[in-house]
Amino acid sequence: MKFRRGAWAALLMAVLTACSTNPMTGRSQLSLMPEATVISQSRSAYKAELAPYAKKNRLNDDPDMAARVRAITDRLIAQAVRYRPDTAAWAWEVNVIDDPKTLNAFCLPGGKMAVYSGLILKLKATDDEIAQVMGHEIGHALANHGAEKMSVGMLSDILVAALAGNNRGRQQTGDIASLLLWQLPNSRGAETEADRIGIELAARAGYRPEAAAELWRKMMRESGEKGRFALLSTHPASAERVEALAGLVPAMQPLYTEAAANPQALPTRLAANVRDVTPGAAPPPAALQPLSLVNLPLAAFRRGQARLGCDSCGMGFSSRLGRLKELADRQDWENLAGEVLEADYNQDIAWYYLGLAAEGLGLPVAWSYFERSVLRGVEEGGHCKGGLMDLCNGIDLPQKAREALVRLGP
**Least distance in angstroms from the C-beta of 71 to Zn ion:** 22
Rounded to a whole number of angstroms, the minimum distance from the CB of residue 235 to Zn ion is 4
Instruction: In angstroms, give the least distance from the CB of 64 to Zn ion.
Output: 27
Residue 145 binds to Zn ion (criterion: CB under 5 A): no
CA nearest to 30, candidates 41, 15, 8, 42: 15
* Nearest-angstrom CA–CA distance, 343 and 316: 7
Binding window for Zn ion (CB under 5 A); candidates: 98-106, 184-192, 268-276, 312-320: 184-192
Question: At residue 320, what are phi and psi to the nearest 5 degrees?
Answer: -100, -5
Q: Is the Cβ of residue 105 or residue 270 nearer to Zn ion in the bound state? A: 105
Would you mind telling me the total number of residues written for the chain in this entry? 410
By CB under 5 A, which span of 77-85, 149-157, 188-196, 398-406 interacts with Zn ion? 188-196
How many contiguous H segments (helices) and E segments (strands) does the chain have? 18, 5
Residue 136 CB, nearest approach to Zn ion (Å)? 6
Is the Cβ of residue 191 or residue 339 nearer to Zn ion in the bound state?
Answer: 191
- Spell out, one character per residue from 288 to 327, where the chain touches Zn ion: x when CB under 5 A holds, - when not: ----------------------------------------
Catalytic site residue 137?
A: yes
Residue whose CB is less far from Zn ion, 141 or 405: 141
CA pair distance 135, 202, nearest whole angstrom: 6
| Site stretch for Zn ion (CB under 5 A), options 192-200, 221-229, 242-250, 336-344 | 192-200
- Interacting span for Zn ion (CB under 5 A) from 160-168, 179-187, 252-260, 350-358: 179-187
Indicate the residue among 191 and 200 with the shorter CB distance to Zn ion: 191
Strands (E), 98-216: 105-108, 112-116
- Of 130, 128, 369, 139, residue with least CA distance to 249: 128
Q: Determine, following the binding rule CB under 5 A, whether residue 235 of this chain makes contact with Zn ion.
A: yes
Query: In this structure, are residues 44 and 78 in contact, taking their beta carbons and an 8 Å threshold?
Result: no
In 3-state terms the chain splits into helix, strand, coil percentages (rounded to 5) of: 60, 5, 30
Using alpha carbons only, what angle is made at residue 40 by residues 280 and 56, rounded to the nearest 5 degrees? Answer: 80
Which of 237/308 has CB closer to Zn ion? 237
Q: Give the nearest distance from C-beta 261 to Zn ion in angstroms.
A: 30
DSSP 8-class letter at 401: H
Query: Residue 162: enclosing H or E segment and its boundaries?
Result: helix 145-164
Would you say 194 or 244 has its CB closer to Zn ion?
Answer: 194
Distance CA 115, CA 95 (A): 7
Any contact of residue 241 with Zn ion (CB under 5 A)? no
- Cβ neighbours for 312, distance < 8 A, ≥ 6 positions apart: none
Scanning 49-57, 121-129, 181-189, 293-301 for contacts with Zn ion by CB under 5 A, the matching segment is 181-189
Q: Please tell me whether residue 194 binds Zn ion under the rule CB under 5 A.
A: yes
**Distance of alpha carbon 342 from alpha carbon 340, whole angstroms:** 5
Binding mask 96-135 for Zn ion (x = CB under 5 A): ----------------------------------------
Residue among 389, 385, 387 at smallest CA distance from 399: 385
Residue 191 or 359: the one with the smaller Cβ distance to Zn ion is 191
Task: Kindly state the smallest distance separating residue 291's Cβ from Zn ion, in Å.
Answer: 21
Beta pairing partners, 228: 102
Instruction: Return the closest-CA partner of residue 251 out of 212, 309, 290, 308.
Output: 212
Write down the catalytic residue from 35, 93, 137, 214: 137
- In angstroms, give the least distance from the CB of 20 to Zn ion: 20
231 in contact with Zn ion (CB under 5 A) = no
Q: How far from each other are the two terminal CA atoms of the chain, in whole angstroms?
A: 77
Residues in contact with Zn ion, counted by CB under 5 A, come to a total of 4
Binding-site ranges for Zn ion (CB under 5 A)? 186, 191, 194, 235
Active site residues: 137
